[in-house]
Structure 1
Amino acid sequence: RSRYRGGPGNAYRKYLQDLFTTLVDIQWRWTILVFALSFLMSWFTFACMWWLIAYTHGDLEPENLKPDSGWTPCVDNINSFVSCFLFSLETQHTIGYGGRATTEECPEAVITMCMQSIWGMMIQAFMVGIIFAKMARPKQRTQTLLFSRNAVICQRDGQLCLMFRVGDMRERSHLISASVRAQMIRPRATKEGEYLSPFLCELDVQVDDYNSNIFLIWPKVVVHKIDASSPLYTLSAADIIHERFEIVVL
C-alpha cells in the first residue's frame, strides 16, 4: 500500500497510471499475454457491436437470410455471431477476403467500421511501441560486460588506490563513450545523532587519463585514488575488513 497527499491509495493504481512503462518493465510472458488479450478483446467487443447492429436491423431473421428475399443488410453475408467475429477481425486488420462488406443501408455500421479501423491502428501502434522499447532496452547488453572478481587496494604512483577491471566480451559492437561511476553505500550518524542508512558517497574514478568515459576496445582498469576527499581515507586495513559498506559500480 502507498499513501499520497489525496489520501490512502492502492500501489497498483500507480503502476496502471503509467501503463506503458509498466508493460515495458514486466516479464516477456506478461507482455505477450497483454498483447494477445488486447487484440482478442477488441475483436470480441466489436463483434458484439456488429451483431447488435445486424440484430436490431433484422438481418438475422430467417426470412431475411434467404438469398432471394431482396433484403439489404447492414453487412453482407452476416448470419451468426461467428460471422460477426470474423468480420470484426477482417475489418480491424484490413484482411479483405471479399465475402463480407458493409453496405449503405445502415449509417451506424459505417460509423462502427470507422471506429474499429481507428481503434485497431491505435492498438497496433501502442503494442508495437511496447515491443520495440522492450527489445531496444540495453538490459541484456550488460551480460557481456565482465568485472574482475576482486577489487584491490594497492599503490600506484606512490598513492593508495582502489582498482578493479572491466571488460567487454563483444568484438564487433564496442561501447563508445561509455561512462563508469562508483558509489559507496554505508550507514552514517550525524552530529545530531540522526542515523542515515543507507548513505551514498560518490567515489571519483578514472580510467587511464580520462575522468570516467571509457572506450572498451580492451579491458580497462578503473582507479579511485584514496586521498583526503575519499570516503575510504579514514579507514585502515582492519576497518575495511570489519566496516559495513558496499561499493556499487554503475
Structure 2
Amino acid sequence: MKMHRNRPQPSRLVGRKEKSTLNIVKLGIPRLHFADLYHKLLTLSWPQFFLLICLSYLVMNGLFALAYLAGGDCIANARHGSLKDAFYFSVQTMATIGYGAMFPRTDYANTIVAIEAFFGLWAVAMVTGLAFSKFSRPSARVIFSRVAVIAPFNGVPTLMYRAGNQRFNQILEAQQGVTLIRDEVTSEGEYMRRFYDLQLMRNQSRIFSLTWTVMHAIDESSPLYQLTAKDLMEQEIEIVITLTGIDETVSQTINARHSFVASEIMWNMRFVDIILRAPDGGRVVDYTRFHDVKPIE
C-alpha cells in the first residue's frame, strides 16, 4: 500500500503523561468561550489555578483602591492620595476584617464599600466552589506498561499489555476498550486515518485491585492479522486504551487513557511475572518490575 509522500506525519493521539491529554489542535474555534469558563477553570492545574486567583485578587482590590482615590479624602485615617492605604482598605473591606483604623467617611465611600462587599461575597463563594470541585474530582491512579508485547498464547499470536491499580483499594466494574488507529488509502486514492476496535479476551474486571494483563488474539478476524513490525511502522499505527471503573472509596466513576505506537510494541517478548507469594500465604505485587519483559523461550 502506497501513501502520499507530501502528507504530514501524524503525531501520537493520546499523550503519555500521568494525566494524558489528546494531542489535537482545533482551528477556527476560540480557545476560551464564556459559556465554558467553569470547565476551563476546572481543567487548570493547581499552580495555574492559584496564580489566577492571586492575580484576580490583586486586580480587583487595585480597581477598588482607584475607585476610593477618585472620591478624594473619603477614607478616615488614610493618607490623602495614598494608593497603598486605599489598597489596604479595599483588602479589609473585601475580606470583612474591619480593624477599625480606617473607615468610610462619606456617602461616596460607603457606596463603594457596599459594592465591594457584594462582589467580595460572590468572589469568596465562587473560589470556594471551584476549589471544592477541583478537590472532589475523582482521579485514577492506574499505571500502564511502557511497552506492549506480541507473543504466542495458546499457539496464537497475541497482543498484550499490563495495567495496574496504584492505590490500595479496588476499582469496581473496571472495563477496558482498545482501538487500533492506522493509515489507510481508499480505492479512490484518498488518505484517511482508520479506527478499529480490537476484540479482547477479557475486557472487564469486577474487582481490579492487583494487575491486569490485557490480551488481544491476532487471528483472522483481527486487523493486525499477518502484519509485521515493518508494516506497523509504515502504517504508523497507534493503539489507544481507555479504562473506566468505579472507585470504591469515593463511589465515583474514574477513567484513564494510554497509547502505544509501533516503536513501543515488542515482538516475541513476555512480561516478567510480578505476582509473588508471601510467607503468610498472601499475594505480593512487585511494581519495581512492572515494565520488565523477557524473550520468549
Q: Does the Cα contact within 8 Å between 1:102 and 1:109 map onto a contact in 2?
A: yes
Q: Return the offset for 1:182.
A: 0.9
Aligned to 1:165: 162
1:110 aligns with 2:110: yes
Separation in structure 1 between the aligned mates of residue 145 and residue 49 of structure 2, nearest angstrom: 32
Cα distance per residue 1:91-132 (max 9 Å; x no partner):
1011111222335x41x3333222212222333333344444
Separation in structure 1 between the aligned mates of residue 194 and residue 136 of structure 2, nearest angstrom: 33
Which residue identity does 2:194 align to in structure 1? F
Which residue identity does 1:88 align to in structure 2? S
Among 230, 234, 244, the alignment partner of 2:222 is 230
Separation in structure 1 between the aligned mates of residue 41 and residue 119 of structure 2, nearest angstrom: 19
Higher strand share: 2
Tell me the secondary structure at the aligned position of residue 31 of structure 2.
helix
Which residue identity does 1:32 align to in structure 2? F
1:77 aligns with 2:95: no
1:181 aligns with 2:183: no
Tell me the secondary structure at the aligned position of residue 180 of structure 2.
strand
Separation in structure 2 between the aligned mates of residue 218 and residue 39 of structure 1, nearest angstrom: 46
Separation in structure 2 between the aligned mates of residue 31 and residue 148 of structure 1, nearest angstrom: 31
Q: Return the offset for 1:88.
A: 0.5
Query: Rg larger in 1 or in 2?
Result: 1
Among 92, 98, 122, the alignment partner of 2:94 is 92
Q: Return the offset for 1:214.
A: 4.7
Q: Return the offset for 1:42.
A: 0.8
Aligned to 1:200: 195
Cα distance per residue 1:173-232 (max 9 Å; x no partner):
332233212111100122322110x3221223253xxx4355321112212244554322
Tell me the secondary structure at the aligned position of residue 120 of structure 2.
helix
1:15 aligns with 2:32: yes
Separation in structure 2 between the aligned mates of residue 2 and residue 160 of structure 1, nearest angstrom: 38
Q: Where do residues 120-139 of structure 1 align in structure 2 (5 Å cutoff)? A: 120-137=120-137
Higher relative contact order (CA 8 A, sep 6+): 2
Tell me the secondary structure at the aligned position of residue 15 of structure 1.
coil
Q: Return the offset for 1:45.
A: 0.7
Tell me the secondary structure at the aligned position of residue 79 of structure 2.
coil
Separation in structure 2 between the aligned mates of residue 248 and residue 124 of structure 1, nearest angstrom: 41
Count of paired positions: 214
Separation in structure 2 between the aligned mates of residue 229 and residue 129 of structure 1, nearest angstrom: 50
In the superposition, the TM-score normalised over structure 1's length comes to: 0.69
In the superposition, the TM-score normalised over structure 2's length comes to: 0.60
RMSD: 3.2
Separation in structure 2 between the aligned mates of residue 77 and residue 206 of structure 1, nearest angstrom: 77
Which residue identity does 1:155 align to in structure 2? F
Which residue identity does 2:179 align to in structure 1? Q
Q: Does the Cα contact within 8 Å between 2:173 and 2:204 map onto a contact in 1?
A: no
5+ residue gaps, structure 1? 5-10, 61-73
Q: Could you tell me the percent identity over the aligned residues?
A: 28
Q: Does the Cα contact within 8 Å between 1:161 and 1:225 map onto a contact in 2?
A: yes
Tell me the secondary structure at the aligned position of residue 32 of structure 2.
helix
Separation in structure 2 between the aligned mates of residue 138 and residue 162 of structure 1, nearest angstrom: 30
